[in-house]
Structure 1
Amino acid sequence: MKRSRLFTMLAATMALVCAFALAACGGSPASDEPADSGSAAASGADNSADITELIVGFDQAYPPYGFVGDDGEFTGFDLDLAAEVSQRCGWEVTYEPIDWDAKDTLLDSGAISCIWNGFTMEGREDDYTFSEPYMLNGQVVVVKADSGIESFDDLAGKTVITQVDSAALDVLEGDQADLAATFASLEQIGEYNTAFMQLESGAVDAVACDLSIAEYQMAANPDAYAQLPDMLSEEHYAVGFKKGNQQLADKVTETLREMDVDGTIEELCNKYAEYGISYDNWVLE
């Protein structure tokens, strides 16, 4: 026991001597500050743009911003934006289709770098660090063209469906709660493609969704659907990052601006024009 205790005391003493020796080798004057006070973590420095891979979290059933193309590959306006930004910044881009309900957990854990998928920023400013807004959006209501529904008043007693945790749901539970109270029911579903299938089948009377989604569906089925003339709300799309990742958000914003100046943005808008994307709705200058 004595030998063991002596050994322990000697080890502790040597550790203390080594600690002083290391401090002396550092050449820093003695200070009351913690030894790591100059580190990025301790100083609050934002190194979020120091990445080699941009992992883009997106809903793979959200055309035209992110979806599975006819060739089985991921495609979409936002995914193309992310790929071009990554190439210019020297990052590898990875597309990560996510469960929309799990987006916050995935972002906070670092499993994804950002949410880039027609992501509405209004009402979410306290939860994410955003790039500057780049695209005008709004929340609208789409009905079957022959439904006879022509205004919000005609939705009284009707069944309306929207995507779970969507901007449209936020509006209908918030500023437009009085309107939603007139519905027979407000249903929620995992993704909009199925919502429009239900509209087509007559299972629901209307879909509340993003303007971009409405434009995409109406472009694909010009005689099937009609958009009600009034908007539920008007808002903007931005890229959402983990709270505090301002440097990464600024880098993406700066690169998007460069892409607009050299004409790349307009080219991508034209590429997806048949899906309802318009350069007129680009707002980042």
Structure 2
Amino acid sequence: MKKSYLLFTLIILLISVTACSNKKTTDDTYGEGNEEKSTFTVGFDQDFPPMGFVGDDGEFTGFDLDLAAEVAKRLDFELVLQPIAWDAKDMELKSGNIDCIWNGFTITGREDNYTWTDAYMSNKQVFVVKEDSDIKTFADLAGKSIVAQADSSAEAALSERQDLVDTFGDYIKAADYNMALMDLQSGAVDAVAMDYIVAGYHIEKKKADFVILDESLASEGYGVGFLLGNEELRDKVQTTLEEMADDGTLEKISTTWFGKDITTIKK
């Protein structure tokens, strides 16, 4: 009888310990109430310098990733950097694999698809050509080979300019901008439709022999995109970005990457 009682007690204790060890805290997913530090998983395109990319040391780096790291630090979150295929970003967000998309993510045209922070940077979609190219205006793109990243803002901008696209000799979709710019450098294509900020980085920082056409396809703003309805996390990030603008941190990070403050959240 004693043995049976002891065995029964041990079983109950084992079940209790297992239940406690497996229990997950569900109150306030993003911080308060959790004993362990909450994660903040940022989805980004790892081939999109200077916003997010793989540095020479093999580590993830970039302007947006520096912003995300500072936000996570101030909110006492554990930052998780999650590279994603850009055309799979919606699936990654809806499945919960990432908490936000933060990587030169254009608000314009997507206003109703995500819950957004305010724009923290202005941008525009442009064409990039080689320095010695005879392409100077949109009219000169007629009959030429043009490339844009699949599911990018440049592709979206071009979808609104079918009259222009119809003049192209060939219109190609690339997996990422690094591949597109390598094709431009080699002469495989004549022009790349892409973000002005990214193009400027390649020209200024990497000394690429490219130029940006004066005409632009569209103006836009970069923001941090969250799953539609996730206002709680968006508000925390927005408030923190405003604090970083107030104390000069946004300006400092921007100057590190671009030589000046080009952010649009002002104190």
Which residue of the partner structure matches residue 196 of structure 2? 211
Structure 2: runs of 5+ lacking an equivalent:
1-27, 33-37
C-alpha distance 49-130 of structure 1, shift in aligned 2 (>3 A): farther
User: SS state of the match for residue 143, structure 2?
Assistant: coil
Name the structure 2 match of 1:284: 265
Q: Percent same amino acid at aligned positions?
A: 50
Is 1:84 paired with 2:70?
A: yes
- Whether 1:171 aligns to 2:148 is no
Q: TM-score scaled to structure 1, two decimals?
A: 0.79
- The letter of the residue matching 1:108 is K
Aligned equivalent of 2:141, options 155, 161, 172: 155
Q: Which amino acid aligns with 1:265?
A: L
Partner Cα separation in structure 2 for residue 187 and residue 113 of structure 1: 31
Which consecutive residues of structure 1, in runs of 5 or more, have no partner in the other structure?
1-46
The alignment status of 1:115 with 2:101, answered yes or no, reads yes
Aligned mates of 2:167, 2:30 — CA distance in 1: 47
Supply the distance in 2 between the matched residues of 1:249 and 1:103 (Cα, whole angstroms).
Answer: 17
- Does residue 39 of structure 2 align to residue 53 of structure 1? yes
Once the two structures are TM-superposed, the CA of residue 237 in structure 1 deviates from its matched residue by 0.1
Q: Which amino acid aligns with 2:199?
A: A
- Give the Cα–Cα distance (whole angstroms) in 2 for the partners of residues 126 and 49 of structure 1: 24
Determine the structure 2 residue equivalent to 1:252. 237
Match of 1:132 among 91, 101, 118: 118
- Provide the secondary structure at the position in 1 that maps to 2:123: strand
Aligned to 2:53: 67
Between the aligned partners of 2:213 and 2:241, the Cα distance in structure 1 is: 32
Q: 1:124 & 1:267 partners in 2: Cα distance?
A: 29
Contact 1:145 1:223 in 2 (8 A): no
Q: Secondary structure at the match of 2:65?
A: helix
SS in 2 for 1:232: strand
Give 1:57's aligned amino acid: G
**For the residues of structure 2 that align with 1:223 and 1:73, how far apart are their CA atoms?**
23
**Contact 1:67–1:75 (Cα < 8 Å) also in 2:** yes
SS in 2 for 1:146: coil
Q: 1:124-179 deviations in whole A, cap 9, x for unaligned? A: 112111111100011000000101111111001111101000000001011x2211
Q: CA separation in 2, counterparts of 1:247 and 1:77?
A: 24
1:157 and 1:182 in contact (8 A); partners too: yes
CA contact (8 A) 2:124 2:196 kept: yes
For the pair 1:224 / 2:205, whether they are aligned, the reply is: no
Q: Does 1:268 align with 2:253?
A: yes
Q: Give CA-to-partner distance per residue, 1:79-134, whole Å, 9 cap, x none.
A: 00000000101111000011112111110011000000000011111211111110
How far is 1:223 from its partner? 6.0
CA contact (8 A) 2:31 2:77 kept: no
Q: Does structure 2 retain, via aligned residues, the 8 Å contact 1:138–1:231?
A: yes
Supply the distance in 2 between the matched residues of 1:153 and 1:200 (Cα, whole angstroms). Answer: 21
Q: Which amino acid aligns with 1:267?
A: K
The CA RMSD measured in Å over matched residues stands at 1.6
The count of residues paired between Structure 1 and Structure 2 equals 235
Aligned counterparts of 2:80 and 2:217: Cα–Cα separation in 1: 34
Contact 1:161/1:189 (8 A) holds in 2: yes
Deviation at 1:250, TM superposition (A): 1.5
Cα deviation code 1:53-81 (max 9, x no counterpart): 11000000000000011111000000000
Task: Measure how far apart 1:268 and its partner are.
Answer: 0.6
